[in-house]
Structure 1
Amino acid sequence: MPTPASPVADLGGVLRDRFLDGEGRGPELVLLPTGRFQMGSPDHERRIAMEAGSQKGWLARELPQHWVGIEKPVAMGRHPVTVGEWRAFVRATGWRQSGEVNWEAPGFPQTDAHPVVGVNWYDAQDYLRWLGEATGRRYRLPSEAEWEYACRAGTWTAFSFGDTISTEQANYDGSFTYNGGARGEYRRGTTPAGMFPPNPWGLFDMHGNVWEWVQDVVHDNYEGAPLDGSAWEEGGDQARRILRGGSWLYNPRYLRSALRNGFSSALSNDIVGFRVVRELL
């Protein structure tokens, strides 16, 4: 019986697990350092977001700002799961689409290097189970805290790039601006993985391109949230899960590191994808 092999690391420190059958590899992974960070947004950031058009109800979701410790070492997908990676899962399992958006033809041009869309939260779980079985390792969605920690990558600003953002750094609706930034391009669809600069920890597309599912149930704010980086799955709205990161369709205020969104777990559309986390212990 095949046993899991150690992940293969390239010269840049990017990890990939081998499939047990020797016929493939998992997504590219980046090791996240353990540490502590402040989750949520400070007063001055929320004021700027309101000037950019954010509503108080959205901003209240980011409160109270609080310290979280990320104590378990994990590796995170270097980019969202791609069309090509999803195609390998479909071919191996015979998975059939249940939503309205066709992942192979979402309404804009895409290649195997683009992030897959048209997958709901349950579909993402199916992929993660398959990937775990194929590699002999434990894969899952990131918790919301892990996601924000990785997105910030040690920064304290609204975006990992600073207090504003441009369409040279991320894929969003550049018809809109944020905090004095310039207008830019509106690409009307997803862009390939790795097209824009990574954040300080080597992760791509944490801002924009596609909203990303995380494990957590939707709660209206952080009152009672875990402080250890684990997923918050008790209470809240059990029919919905948190989305992070913004997308190609949204304006830049939705791309902030602290911004929280939530959709029905069963919803699939052309603006939502996901990335993986691989447990190391």
Structure 2
Amino acid sequence: MLLASSLKIAAAAAALAGPLAGGAALLSPGVPALPHSVVALAPAEFQYRVAGDVSVAGRPAAAPVRTLRLDRDLTIMTRQVTAAEYATCVAAGACPRIGRGPAADDRPVVGVSHRDAVAYAAWMTRTTGLTHRLPTDQEWVFAAAEKADDEALPVVDRADPARAWLVRYDTEASREKMSAEPQPVGHFGVNAKGLADVAGNVWEWTDTCFVRATLEASGETRATTTNCGVRVVQGRHRTYMTDFIRDPRTGGCAAGAPPANLGFRLVVETAAADRLLAALERTARRLLGPG
């Protein structure tokens, strides 16, 4: 009897919820399912090196490493947005047209700026009814797991910005070289958390602004300058790019070696959908009763 009651409640909730039930995304009537697969990552502790330029008593210092924990599940795309998916947004008049170059439809879209990525996320939000957004740098590091590069870069006095840029460039450029041509989805493998092509040859935009910060005696960092015209970009190394740049090889890299390509993957906010499903289940219980 208990099993039958549970099944009736589940069926009623499914009928009320429509496409939300069974773990699918909360969609508007007649709208197809999400075009991309996602994975839900439960909160856990992880090591995070603070992004941006850090100083102590006015002198450059290595950014500290923190032990962090996300405050809720993180639902994120298992792969980067593809050229075909971005082209659909362009065709709908919702995304800026870009020079796609030789990338095939089944490969990550590259040559996109932060602004282009935000436009695509806004379109996906309108299309699906679920909020899509770029990850923060902290979320990206958490999802990247063992693929996140936590190497501390050489500390160089910012009073000589040209030398600081060159030292960082030399450090990053000395890493293993790989083809800059976008590869088919999955070419660079899957990390421990089920994400494909993390730290391959496509760097990913995050929504984190560039920050200059002071490391206090207490160990806390205090932001002194926040520049949201420059965003954190993540891949084989962390770097910082002007938000309108599409091709990093033409300039706009705020420090170090420019990324080979600029692409992105999105976070999907599921909390609202989860709350709605729970409410529908409670309503079904009231309607059906205990029998």
TM-score interval (norm. to shorter): 0.5 to 0.7
1:202 positional shift: 0.7
- Equivalent positions of 1:159-178 (< 5 A) are none
Kept after mapping to 1: 8 A contact 2:179/2:201: no
User: Is the alpha carbon distance of 1:21 and 1:222 closer, same or farther for their aligned partners in structure 2, counting shifts above 3 Å?
Assistant: farther
- Which residue of the partner structure matches residue 22 of structure 1? 31
Higher-helix-fraction structure: 2
- Equivalent positions of 1:140-219 (< 5 A) are 140-152=133-145, 186-219=178-211
Q: Identify the match of residue 99 of structure 2 among 97, 103, 108.
A: 103
Kept after mapping to 1: 8 A contact 2:44/2:70: yes
Kept after mapping to 1: 8 A contact 2:25/2:33: no
Q: Name which one, 1 or 2, has greater alpha-carbon Rg.
A: 2
> Taking structure 1 as the reference length, what is the TM-score of the superposition?
0.64
Kept after mapping to 2: 8 A contact 1:20/1:136: no
1:243 positional shift: 0.2
| 1:12-66 deviation per Cα after TM superposition (whole angstroms, max 9, x unaligned) | xxx767664334533211111211111029xxxxxxxxxxxxxx99xx7861111
- Which residue of the partner structure matches residue 242 of structure 1? 232
1:74 positional shift: 2.1
1:196 positional shift: 2.5
Kept after mapping to 2: 8 A contact 1:121/1:265: yes
- Which residue of the partner structure matches residue 275 of structure 2? none
- Which residue of the partner structure matches residue 53 of structure 1? none
Task: Calculate percent identity across the aligned residue pairs.
Answer: 24
For 2:189 and 2:121, locate their aligned partners in 1 and report how far apart those are by CA, in whole Å.
26
Give unpaired runs (5+ residues) of structure 1.
Answer: 10-14, 42-55, 160-175, 225-231, 246-254
For 1:222 and 1:30, locate their aligned partners in 2 and report how far apart those are by CA, in whole Å.
36
For 2:209 and 2:229, locate their aligned partners in 1 and report how far apart those are by CA, in whole Å.
8
Q: How many residues align?
A: 211
Give unpaired runs (5+ residues) of structure 2.
Answer: 1-15, 152-172, 217-221, 249-260, 272-291
User: Is the alpha carbon distance of 1:190 and 1:62 closer, same or farther for their aligned partners in structure 2, counting shifts above 3 Å?
Assistant: farther
Other structure's SS at 1:86 match:
helix
1:201 positional shift: 0.8
| 1:60-93 deviation per Cα after TM superposition (whole angstroms, max 9, x unaligned) | 7861111111112121111111101111111222
Q: Which letter does structure 1 place at the counterpart of 2:143?
A: A
- Which residue of the partner structure matches residue 173 of structure 1? none
Other structure's SS at 2:92 match:
helix
Kept after mapping to 2: 8 A contact 1:103/1:116: no
Q: Identify the match of residue 106 of structure 2 among 96, 113, 125.
A: 113
Other structure's SS at 1:197 match:
coil
Matched, 1:278 2:268: yes
Kept after mapping to 1: 8 A contact 2:211/2:227: yes
For 1:221 and 1:17, locate their aligned partners in 2 and report how far apart those are by CA, in whole Å.
40
RMSD of aligned C-alpha atoms? Answer: 3.5
- Which residue of the partner structure matches residue 161 of structure 2? none
For 2:92 and 2:62, locate their aligned partners in 1 and report how far apart those are by CA, in whole Å.
40
1:220 positional shift: 3.9
- Which residue of the partner structure matches residue 120 of structure 2? 127
| 1:78-113 deviation per Cα after TM superposition (whole angstroms, max 9, x unaligned) | 11111011111112225333xxxx4322xxx32111
Other structure's SS at 1:89 match:
helix
- Which residue of the partner structure matches residue 75 of structure 1? 75
> Taking structure 2 as the reference length, what is the TM-score of the superposition?
0.62
Other structure's SS at 1:93 match:
coil
User: Is the alpha carbon distance of 1:27 and 1:36 closer, same or farther for their aligned partners in structure 2, counting shifts above 3 Å?
Assistant: same
- Which residue of the partner structure matches residue 157 of structure 2? none
